[in-house]
Amino acid sequence: MADSSVASAPKKGFFNQYAPLWPSTVGLACAYMGLVVATQGSLRFTDQGVFTDGAAAVALIPCLIAAAVLYKTRFFCTRRTMAVLVRVSIALESAIVLVMGVLRFSGLCTFPVRFALSVLVTIAAALCIACWLRRAHDDEVPLGMERGVVLVFGAIFLSQIPVFAISLLPDGVRCLAILPFVLAQFACLAWASRQTHQEGEADGRADDYFSFVRSGEASRRFLVACAIGLAALSLVAGFLSGFPHGEPIPFTFEARTVCFVLTELMCVLFIQSTMRRHSRTMTVRVWIVMELLAAGALVLYCAFPAHLEIGGIATTMLGTLMTAFVWHLIIAYLTSGWRDPFYYAAIVWAVWTIARAFGRFVVLGVMPTGGDSHFTGTLISLLLLVSTQLILVGLIDVSQFAAKSPQKEALGESGTAAETPVEEAKPTGGAARIERILGLDEDSTLADARHAVVRHNAELMGSQFMLSEREVEVLALYASGFTQKRVAEQLHISQTTAHTHISRIYSKTGLHSRQELLDYMRQYGDM
């Protein structure tokens, strides 16, 4: 009964409840429409080949250069800069869509011109999408798992309706027809500026997606596992888009209609699942659905070799779901990381695009498939198996690591029971480099500032509860997250002595756990 009551609550005033998200949701949908129609074929094909993944791979070059600058300089884009940037990117996307529409309508859009325009519109649309994700993250009520899912799947749901309708138009008219929707992003900005900011806490529970990614080291491991899984599955998606030998698969009207209906249904089901407080929707279920779509596409390709559009439906749904997942993952990186949001947007997009383009062009171009669907199917099956195992192993590793935290709390944070220290597994070598590249490393400057605040509050508690100087040192380290073993190593004392000091701290303060110490510092200190 408790679950049903919780599930029914969001249904009351649904549009009012998520009112702060609607400008960003509609703006995100409009930016995505321009990209889909201009470079992805508007549901007429699984993709547009070199104009889709090829253009995205080239567009990635300036994005990675910008990411490298952000990484090196630690620059953080201000609100004023972002306000200018989003307007410039919308204007750029609109202008390129207009030029592409005019040239394609007049028949003057040659291959080099179309490819160059595809690259430019990809850059502009990606920048617009990043701006809308950042706006939703920064300016609206705090994004938890539920609001994040409503944002990304709501945008996908809205975008599919005009895209499907425009797919019925002639080739030269489609870009011109989508132009008003791209320009509507300006109206969404005005709409967002009129929104009244609502204060509130992020929705969700302790075990949902966004609550989980706020949990320190487990957060970084989880997000790294997601990035690796995304790369592995994107490689498979690239293969499937050009099955069996790299050519885009054309859709019949019936296939387009089925794909449209199933995609809309998929969006509704993900939103509904999340609103019912199914906490694993975006941690486990989304991976299961993506793997099933990939496997289903391969089975349908092989079962209906004369009607590849049937398998193309599952492939297109996989690509759409991965788009929503990438957006959701970017928001999670923004929640967990300390670098500029555009850095995370560029890095996650790079992981997705590079792997997909590699599977779409490099492997299919190098491997001697010769259009042999059996060989290609076998190769995709192998890659799908590898990607599934990578995702499974990554999530199991995170689950095992996260399970140590409650164990540590139970065994090591009592003031009377002896501690069984559980050391935090700090990444080293290649793992540490991956975390740094993904922007998931801890900023040493911020860490030093946090420790200084904790030290100051420990001194205040020392004066209030008459702690010794050594007990203040122990309290500062212990409140910073050090285990008793690490406290002992840091202060060059034995673990028994560290345990004695912590027991005395608990006795003098009347508190009984590390969390109670932190809560006291937050309430009465300067944290």
Express each pLDDT in 30-74 by its tens digit: 999 999 999 988 888 888 888 999 999 999 999 999 999 988 888
Q: Does pLDDT of 459 surpass 60?
A: yes
Q: Could you tell me how far CA 230 lies from the centroid of its own chain?
A: 10
Q: Which of 472, 448, 471 is nearest to 460 (CA)?
A: 472
CA dihedral 286, 289, 291, 295 (to 10 degrees): -170
Looking at 252-256, 331-335, 339-343, which range is the least confident one? 331-335
Per-residue confidence at 139, pLDDT binned at 50, 70, 90?
low
Structure confidence by residue, pLDDT tens digits, 162-181: 999 999 998 889 999 999 99
In which band, very low, low, confident or very high, does the pLDDT at 275 lie, cut at 50, 70 and 90? confident
The answer to which of 47-61, 99-113, 443-457 has the lowest mean pLDDT is 443-457
Name the pLDDT band for 416 (thresholds 50, 70, 90): very low
**CB neighbours (10 Å) of residue 253?**
10
pLDDT-derived band of residue 458, with 50, 70 and 90 as boundaries?
Answer: confident
Looking at CATH, the fold of the domain delimited by 444-524 is given as Arc Repressor Mutant, subunit A (1.10.10)
> In sequence order, which residues have a C-beta less than 8 Å from that of residue 358 and are 6 or more positions away?
235, 238
Which residue did the predictor score with more confidence, 63 or 208?
63
Of 237, 242, 244, nearest in space to 374 by CA: 244
**93 against 209, higher pLDDT:** 93
Going by pLDDT thresholds of 50, 70 and 90, the confidence category of residue 427 is low
Taking the C-alpha atoms of residue 417 and residue 196, their distance in angstroms, rounded to an integer, is 51
Least confident interval from 139-143, 151-155, 410-414: 410-414
DSSP 247: P
pLDDT attached to residue 123: 96
Let me know: does 17 contact 290? Beta carbons within 8 Å. Answer: no
The closest alpha carbon to 351, from 368, 330, 336, belongs to 330
Q: How far apart are CA 392 and CA 384, in angstroms?
A: 12
- The string of pLDDT tens digits covering residues 215-233 is 445 567 778 888 888 888 8
- Measure Cα distances from 29 to 48, 95, 143, 162 in Å: 20, 18, 18, 10
Give the pLDDT of residue 21.
Answer: 87
Report domain extents, the chain: 19-194+211-400, 444-524
Residue 253 zone, left/alpha/beta (φ > 0; ψ -120 to 50; rest): alpha
More confident residue, 316 or 407: 316
Which pLDDT belongs to residue 261? 96
Mean pLDDT, range 506-517, rounded to an integer: 82
Query: Is residue 386 scored above 60 in pLDDT?
Result: yes
Mean pLDDT of the chain: 80
- Contact (CB, 8 A) for 218 and 394: no
3-class secondary-structure state, position 250: strand
Cα(292)–Cα(416) distance, integer angstroms:
51
Instruction: Pick the closest to residue 249 from 319, 316, 174 (CA basis).
Output: 316
Tell me the backbone φ, ψ of residue 250, rounded to 5 degrees. Answer: -75, 150
Query: How far is Cα 202 from Cα 213, in angstroms, rounded to an integer?
Result: 13
- Which pLDDT value is given to residue 1? 36
Q: How large is the average pLDDT for residues 182-186?
A: 96
Rounded Cα–Cα distance for residues 524 and 527 (Å): 9
Q: In the CATH scheme, what architecture does the domain 19-194+211-400 have?
A: Up-down Bundle (1.20)
Select the more confidently predicted residue: 272 or 387.
272
Confidence bin at 270 (pLDDT 50/70/90): very high
Name the residue among 47, 45, 27 with its Cα closest to residue 118: 47
* Highest-pLDDT range among 129-138, 256-265, 288-297: 256-265
Instruction: Reduce the DSSP state of residue 45 to 3 states and report it.
Output: strand
